[in-house]
Every structure is written in structure tokens, then in C-alpha cells.
Structure 1
Amino acid sequence: MDDLHAQLKDLEERLFEPAVRGSRQMLVELLSADFREIGSSGRLFDLADVLTELAADPENIASRTLEDFDARLLSQGIALVTYRASRASPDKATVRTLRSSIWRLEADGKWRMLFHQGTLTR
């Protein structure tokens, strides 16, 4: 489980990188074809929405960090991760969120995010 914990943490952190967030190709490698997200805004996104919106997101330059990372297997090939994230932009207040993701080991042997949710915190 320690290897899986480290692998999923690495995958989550890759999604914080501006180069990944701005690349459709890199996002497709990390997100499942049937990906869904409930953003901290309360809006529901699918993969097509994320591919379009992240490329144009001005917050891609923001510094993102995660802490209190936890990963748990829900069943064979399905894992839940939870953590706290902070997003700091040069000209805006730091945004803190509680995040959860469901990762699935897909047929090609790669872990891809199936679901993600962000909830604003104080």
C-alpha cells in the first residue's frame, strides 16, 4: 500500500503542475474518459469541460500545494484519496480546499482519475 500511496500522491501533484494543467495530452493520460468533477464552485464538469477550461485557466500559474494526503483502496483497482490543498496567486488571497479523488486502475495498466471534488475551507 505504501507504493500505491506514493504513486497516487505523485499523480495528484502532477495535476497541480501548470505544464500538465495546460496540456490536453497530459490531462488525457491522467483523467479517465468518463471523468467527472464537482468543482469548489459547485459546478459539475466532465472530461471535455476540463480539457477546454484548464487550458484557458489564468489560475494555472498559481502555486499549489497539498498536505494531509491519504489513500485507501476501496476495492481491487479503485482507490480513494483525500487531502487539503492550497492555491496561492500573486495578486489574490490563498484559497484552501478539502479534496477527494477516486482513481481507477484502467485496462492499460495506468491509474486514471475517475472523479474529483473540491470543497472550500477556511
Structure 2
Amino acid sequence: MNDLGEHLRVLEERLFEQQVRNSRPALEALLSPEFREIGASGTLYTYDTIIAALLQEPADGIKRRLTDFETRLLAPSLALVTYRAVRDIPAEPSVHSLRSSLWRQEPDGQWRMVFHQGTLAA
């Protein structure tokens, strides 16, 4: 489980990287076509809408980091990860959130995210 937890943490952190967020092939390698996200605003994003949104995201110096990362294996090929995220925006207060993701090992052996939710935190 420790190796899987470290692997999924690396995958989550890749999604924080601007060059990954602005690359369709990189996003397609990390997100399942069945992907859904419930954003902090309550908006439901699908695979197509989140990829389109991320590809349009400007490179604006935002730094993202995570802490308190935990992994729980729910089934042999399904894992839940939870963590706290901090988004540091230049000249603005940091934004804190609680995050959860479901990762599934696909038939090709790759782990891809199928669900994500973020909730703003104090």
C-alpha cells in the first residue's frame, strides 16, 4: 500500500503542474474518460469540460502544494486519496481546501482519476 500511496501522490502532484494542466496528452494520461469533478463552487465538471478548462488556464505563477495525504484501497483496483491543498496566488491570500479523489487502475495497468471533489477550508 505504501508504494501505491506514493505513486498516487505523485500523480496528484502532477495535476498541480502548469505544464501538465496545459497539455491534453498529459491530462488524458491521468484522467479517465469517465472522470467527474464536483468543484468547490458546486459545479459538476465532466472529462471534456475539465480538460477544456485546464487547457485554457493561464500560466499565472500560482503554486499548489498538498499535505496530509492518505490513501485507502477500496478494492484491488480502486483507491481513495484525501489530502489538504494550498493554492498560493501572488499578492493574494492562500486558498486552502480539502480534497478527495478516486483513482482506478485501468485495463492497461495505468492508474487514472475517475472522480475528484474539492471543498474550501479555513
TM over 0.5: yes
**Match of 2:112?**
112
In structure 2, the partner of 1:93 is 93
Q: Does residue 76 of structure 2 align to residue 76 of structure 1?
A: yes
CA contact (8 A) 1:18 1:60 kept: no
**Which residue is 2:28 aligned to?**
28
Q: What is the rounded CA distance, in whole Å, between the counterparts of 1:15 and 1:36 in structure 2?
A: 15
Partner of residue 41, structure 2: 41
Structure 2 equivalent of residue 9 of structure 1: 9
Count of residues in Structure 1 that have an aligned counterpart in Structure 2: 122
Letter in 1 for 2:15: L
- 1:56 Cα deviation from its structure 2 partner: 1.3
Where 1:58 maps in the other structure, the secondary structure is coil
Aligned to 2:121: 121
Identity %: 52
Partner letter of residue 48 of structure 2? Answer: A
Give the Å deviation of 1:60: 6.0
4+ runs deviating over 6 angstroms: none
Deviations 1:90-112 (A, max 9, x none): 13221100000000000110000
Q: CA RMSD in A?
A: 1.1
- Partner residue of 1:66? 66
Work out the CA distance in 2 between the residues paired with 1:75 and 1:99. Answer: 20
Counterpart-to-counterpart distance in 2, 1:17 and 1:107: 26
Q: Deviations over 1:20-57 (max 9, x none)?
A: 01111100000001000001111000010011101112
- For residues 60 and 112 of structure 1, the distance between their equivalents in structure 2, rounded to whole angstroms, comes to 27
Give 1:61 shift: 3.4
Task: Report the TM-score, using the length of structure 2 for normalisation.
Answer: 0.96
The more displaced of 13-22 and 84-93 is 84-93
- TM normalised by structure 1 equals 0.96
Which runs of 5 or more structure 1 residues have no equivalent in the other structure?
none
SS in structure 2 at match of 1:108: coil
Query: Which one-letter code corresponds to 2:34 in the other structure?
Result: D
